[in-house]
Each structure stands twice: as structure tokens, then as C-alpha cells.
Amino acid sequence: MQAMNQPPGSRLHVYEVTSYGADPTGKLDSTEALLKAITDAFNGPSEGFLMKGIANLGGAYINLQGGNYRISKPLRLPAAGVGNLMISGGTLTASDDFPTDGYLIDLSASSSSSSYNYEYITIKDLMLDCNYRGGGISVINSLRTSIDNCYITHFNTEGILVQDGHETYIRNSFLGQHITAGGDPGERNFSGTAISLMGNDNAVTDVVIFSAAIGVMISGQANTLSGVHCYNKATGFGGTGIYLKLPGLTQTRIVNCYLDYSGIVAEDPVQLTISSSFFLGDAYILFKSVKGLAKGINIVDNMFSGSNKGIEIVQLDQSKGPFKQIDQVVVDRNNVNGMNLKATVAKGSVQGNGTSWTVDFSPVLLFPNLIDHVQYSVSSSGALFPSHALRNVSENRVVIESDVAVPASVFVTVDQGVSS
């Protein structure tokens, strides 16, 4: 790597922003100096191509040198069609006249000769202070973008916006509209979205979202979240930890996450897995009916902890109509403390001397009046050998009847999500 203060244009592809006149104290506006460093990096030597139409800049490095730089407009990359570039090592702060619809770092382009605007852009080791003037990072139609070890705060739109493109990885980062560590007296007023994924095949791993109205908004397919801790605006105040807004084609995996007083909302979920996650403070999962579709869902092996207010761990919003197409939905093996268990699989038993036995599963089964599959056994200690049959499963109550009165124990297993 080149030595410090080496002049611009070095063939080693390191562009130190103070060499362009950027003020690392944050007192003076550094926008033009930073844009000049970025432009020189774009116009620097390239080493062939990555994807077709994407010039390989060979690891060009915009070095912020640990400074705090005030900017008055977005740092927008000057042209599409380049890749293998890193911006790293400092703080960017929006000035008081920064555009409220802008992003401090803007990976967008009006046109590109490639199917993607950029490839392998790395944004690393940065603090971005949006000064309540817009968003932090915008990644539009880019391929293999990495956002690593960033702290993004004081946004009022999105901390990170990912739109179209493919494989943006966001990891080891912290996002919050207001700098807090929970219990903020202004929590009801949190606004904005920390991360918005409007594209496919992205991953968010080991990320903390400490204040926003919505932690992660997902409206693209095949995204995965792992190790994400959301304690943004609490559900009780109208906030959402993770909002899945792709009705009918969710294709999302949420694993090993921590929903801390803020839950998960999924519209018409299809192919959704939520597992090995912890829900604290009465946080719950809400299925929201849009066209009444719920298919291919696994809500398994999670922990729920609440305050004994009778809140159910999984709930249905059927205000726009009931769920009518339900298939392969498994809500099972979750453990609960201080909340009400809901599931699609349940077991029960009843004892009595007579000709009818009823097991009521309505308190635990998720969907009303839906039992797809029943298994039962009758154990009788009497001398008679009765004939018996399943007579009714309406309203999530299973009724077994025999032809003669006998003392018996009846054991029943029901399932609401058996594949059709």
C-alpha cells in the first residue's frame, strides 16, 4: 500500500482524501474534494473486467484517513460500469443543507452498458451521520456489494436502501435513527426504516438496529437475516422489527435473530422460515392476510418471553379477509414464558365413561376452524370392545364417539398444515 500523503494518481490505486483538500475536522465542506477523489479512482487504471461491462479498478481505495468530513450533497459515483472499489476509514456527516431525499453514499446510475451498475463495491469501517437530512447508503442495481462495520445514524428515510441488483451483504453494523440503548423517552416518535431490501438474494448478518420505526423492510425475494438484533420502536408503540412486504412470494429465512420488544409482520407469507430466534417483551409474529394466502411456512424452535398479558406468540390479521389458502404451515416446537402458545400441531387427551369424548384445541391452534389431519387412539379398561369413530372436527374441537358406553382415555393429535 502506498505511503501516507502520496500524491493522487499513484499507480497503487490509493486515494487519500486530504490530498484533495478534504477537511478531516468537519469544519469545512469537503463534498467537492471527496467527489474529486472518487472521480480519480474511477478514471484510474483498470485491470480488465469483472462482469461484462464492469471495469475492474483493481482494488482502488478511497481512504478517509480517520477524518470527519462534512458534505452538502450525496457522494454519488460519477458513472456506472466499474467495480472492485472500496470506501473506508472515517466519518461522513450531512450538512444542514444536505438534500432531505438524498443518501450520503449513493451507488446509483442513470444508465449502464452492463446489466448491473456496479460490482464489488465495498463500504467499510465508516460512521455515517445523516443529520436527519435523508438516508445513509443507497445501493441501486448493483452486484456483490459489501457494507461492513458501519455505524449509520440520524437518518429519517432509510439507513440503507437496496433496490434491484443482486447479493448485497450487510454485516457487523449498527443502525439507529436516534442514538440510544433502549428505554428512550422519545421511542414513540422513532421514524424511518433502518434497512430496506427491495431486491433479491441479499443477506443481513450480525447487525444491530437500535432505533427506527421499522428495523428491516423486505420486499424482494430470497433474502436471509441472521444474528440481527432489533430493538427499534416497540410493537406496542406501532413499530416493527422485521416487515415482510412481498405478498405471495416471501422466500425469506430469519434465523438466530433477536426481536427485542419489536416483532415480525408477514403479508401473505409463502416460503418463510423463522427459527432459532428469541422474542422478548411480548414481541410476536403477525401473519397479515392480503389475499388470504399462507403456504410453506416454518415457525419452529424459537423462544418467546412476555409479561403474562395473554399475548399470543403468533397472530393473524384478517381484517382484509380470512386466510383461505393454507398449505404446509408448521408452527411447532416453540417454547413460551409469559405468553400464550399458538401452533399448527397439537396433542391432547381426555378421560371419561360414556359414548363421546371431546378434545378442544381452539385455545392453541393458530387458524380458526381448521384441522387438516387427525390421529387418535382409544384406550378402554372396560370389558366391552367398543366400535368408535371420529365424528366432528369443527371449531377446532375433535369429537370421538363409540357405540356403547365405556370408561376410556382418548389421545388425539391434530395438524393444520398438512400438505394437500
The per-residue pLDDT string of the chain (420 residues; one tens digit each, 9 = 90 and over) reads 344 444 454 457 899 999 999 999 999 999 999 999 999 999 989 889 999 999 999 999 999 999 999 999 999 988 899 999 999 999 999 999 999 999 999 999 866 667 899 999 999 999 999 999 999 999 999 999 999 999 999 999 999 999 999 999 999 999 999 999 998 999 999 999 999 999 999 999 999 999 999 999 999 999 999 999 999 999 999 999 999 999 999 999 999 999 999 999 999 999 999 999 999 999 999 999 999 999 999 999 999 999 999 999 999 999 999 999 999 999 999 999 999 999 999 999 999 999 999 999 999 999 999 999 999 999 998 788 899 999 999 999 999 999 999 999 999 999 998 655
Amino acid at 208: V
Tell me, rounded to whole angstroms, the distance of Cα 408 from its chain centroid. Answer: 49
Q: CA angle, corner 104, sides to 90 and 27, nearest 5?
A: 55
**C-alpha cell belonging to residue 150:** 458501519
The span from the CA of 36 to the CA of 20, in Å, is 7
The span from the CA of 117 to the CA of 80, in Å, is 5
Residue with cell 490505486: 13
Question: Is pTM, for the whole model, over 0.75?
Answer: yes
pLDDT at 112 (0 to 100): 64
Q: Which of 220, 225, 240 is nearest to 276 (CA)?
A: 225
The span from the CA of 225 to the CA of 216, in Å, is 9
Q: Which residues are paired to 348 by β-bridges?
A: 412
Amino acid at 222: A
Measure the CA dihedral 48/50/55/56, to 10°. Answer: -70
The span from the CA of 82 to the CA of 107, in Å, is 11
CB 308 within 8 A of CB 282: no
pLDDT at 9 (0 to 100): 44
C-alpha separations of 339 from 70, 361, 364, 397, 415 in Å: 48, 17, 12, 22, 22
Q: Are strands 388-392 and 397-415 parallel, antiparallel or unpaired?
A: antiparallel
The span from the CA of 292 to the CA of 327, in Å, is 12
**C-alpha cell belonging to residue 31:** 463534498
**C-alpha cell belonging to residue 50:** 469483472
Q: Which residues are paired to 404 by β-bridges?
A: none
Amino acid at 411: F
Strand segments (E) across 30-181: 55-63, 68-71, 75-76, 82-94, 102-107, 118-129, 134-140, 143-153, 158-176
pLDDT at 11 (0 to 100): 52
CB 391 within 8 A of CB 399: yes
**Helix, strand, coil fractions of the chain, as percent rounded to 5:** 5, 55, 40
The span from the CA of 348 to the CA of 359, in Å, is 7
Tell me, rounded to whole angstroms, the distance of Cα 156 from its chain centroid. Answer: 18
Q: Are strands 134-140 and 285-288 parallel, antiparallel or unpaired?
A: unpaired
Q: Is 91 exposed, middle or buried (0-12, 13-18, 19+ CB in 10 A)?
A: middle
pLDDT at 420 (0 to 100): 55
Q: Is 7 exposed, middle or buried (0-12, 13-18, 19+ CB in 10 A)?
A: exposed
pLDDT at 79 (0 to 100): 87
Residue with cell 416487515: 243
The span from the CA of 410 to the CA of 412, in Å, is 7
Q: Which residues of 357-369 are buried (b: 16+ CB within 10 A; e: fewer)?
A: bbbebeebbbbee
Stated length of the chain: 420
